[in-house]
Amino acid sequence: MSGPTDARHQAVLTLVEILGDKKSLNYALPRHLNKLPAQQRALGKEIVFGVLRWLPKLQFQLTKLLQKPLKPKDTDIHCILLSGIYQLGYMSVGDHAAVNESVELTRKLDKVWASKLVNGVLRNFQRQREQLEQQAQQQPSAHWAHPAWFIEQIKAAWPEHWQAILDANNQHAPLWLRVNQQHQSREQYLQQLQQQGHVAHVAPFNQVGLRLEHAVDVSQLPGFENGDVSVQDAAAQLAADLLQAQAGDRVLDACAAPGGKTAHIVETQPQLAELVAIDNKPNRVALVADTLKRLNASATLITADASQPDQWWNKQPFQRILLDVPCSATGVIRRNPDIKFFRQAADIDSVVQEQQRILNNIWPLLAQGGQLVYATCSILPRENSQQIAQFLQQHPDAREIEIDAAWGQRCEHGRQILPGMNEMDGFYYAVLRKQ
């Protein structure tokens, strides 16, 4: 029998792997939490996501409570304390349970010497909670629970929206679904959900999106295994419509993993001449293959560097290209809160250069009169509208097609969705046509 102690134990082990070993959340979480039953898995996930979401604030408060910093070899104790403070400050678990279970974890991890320390720090947090909260409000990084460099860049980029963006990043992300229109209509699937007791709302900007009122495990979604429905944020669902692929087109999905947009392209236009999906690592291409297999769809899958088409392109032009380039992922922090820990200001320069290289080298593959959709899940203008402005200056055969839409907001080039707008992730799109 596993219980809350096991969930907390696996949550701490997950945090150690992320904060100590620098592994990503997507890597570490399933390794530890998938061994738990559903209810305990949910508790463990809440602790892991919560600690990462509020990490700058929790770290600030913990520093105030510790008389001296913990040694690097005691990352596990550090993570026990962070998870304990998160449970006391943000979760509806009993204070007694949060403290006692945290102390118990020191024994499970063979660090009995830390029992008194953990007990003392958490008891002090209970006593000083109000004071610690007031101190955190005076320190921007702690108050907003974001790195200082990020706050400054968001203030500069979005002076009217920066507070709303930071707030949205600290919220739980909703569960959006994309109904496979080759199987049934959104209305038909909505009826199935309602019959099973799920409450869902239709996406306002497309014909296939649904937002669940309460998130559930995908195994509880009717027809998931048969490809009737996929999990995909509503902002990401806009890509296939912008692409406007026609029957008989050759379509390229560069940087395709994990394959959600690849699958949506097929669902939107099943009569393509060919859909080529590329990613640069075999394990990432395998994710695309798995996605397509569940949907009983097919594409030409290639493991290659999209920025080096000489190594994989057969010289047949594409009428449509989706270029969802690698980016800072600053628009999807609520889904990937470890970004706050891993992303550094210096990373943005190299990301921008990589995007330029891919865009410049993919452009020759587009047929005359063809369309390229440039997409990122970033909210930084350098990766988005400024990137497109520079590209248009350097490529006289490129013309921007203005996106006439009710979603997001117009930029100098393209449209930007900010995190939380209509419950969507932060996303950027621009559409280019070759003259």
Query: Which of these, 285, 281, 283, 277, lies nearest to 254 by C-alpha position?
Result: 277
The amino acid sitting at 363 is W
Half-sphere exposure for 7 (CA within 13 Å, toward CB): 18
Q: Is the peptide bond before 326 cis (omega within 30 degrees of 0)?
A: no
Give the number of residues written for the chain.
435
Query: Which of these, 307, 236, 286, lies nearest to 265 by C-alpha position?
Result: 236
Task: Tell the residue number behind the tokens 């959900």, with chain if given.
Answer: 193
Q: Which of 79, 255, 377, 411 is catalytic?
A: 377
The amino acid sitting at 168 is A
Q: Are 316 and 367 in contact (CB under 8 A)?
A: no
Query: Which of these, 39, 129, 42, 41, lies nearest to 84 by C-alpha position?
Result: 129
Q: Are strands 415-417 and 209-212 parallel, antiparallel or unpaired?
A: unpaired
Task: Tell the residue number behind the tokens 């963006």, with chain if given.
Answer: 165
User: Measured between alpha carbons, how far is 374 from 384 in angstroms, rounded to an integer?
Assistant: 9
Other CB atoms within a 10 A radius of the CB of residue 349 amount to 10
The conformation of residue 315, written as its DSSP 8-state character, comes to: S
Q: Are strands 175-179 and 229-231 parallel, antiparallel or unpaired?
A: antiparallel
User: Measured between alpha carbons, how far is 99 from 103 in angstroms, rounded to an integer?
Assistant: 6
Task: Give residue 52's Cα distance to chain centre.
Answer: 13
User: Measured between alpha carbons, how far is 61 from 132 in angstroms, rounded to an integer?
Assistant: 6
- Residue 341: strand, helix, or coil: helix
Q: Are 420 and 385 in contact (CB under 8 A)?
A: no
Strand partners, 278: 302
- Residue 111: strand, helix, or coil: coil
User: Measured between alpha carbons, how far is 353 from 359 in angstroms, rounded to an integer?
Assistant: 10
411: annotated active-site residue: no
Q: Are 145 and 170 in contact (CB under 8 A)?
A: yes
DSSP E strands in 207-272: the ranges are 209-212, 229-231, 250-254
Catalytic residues: 377
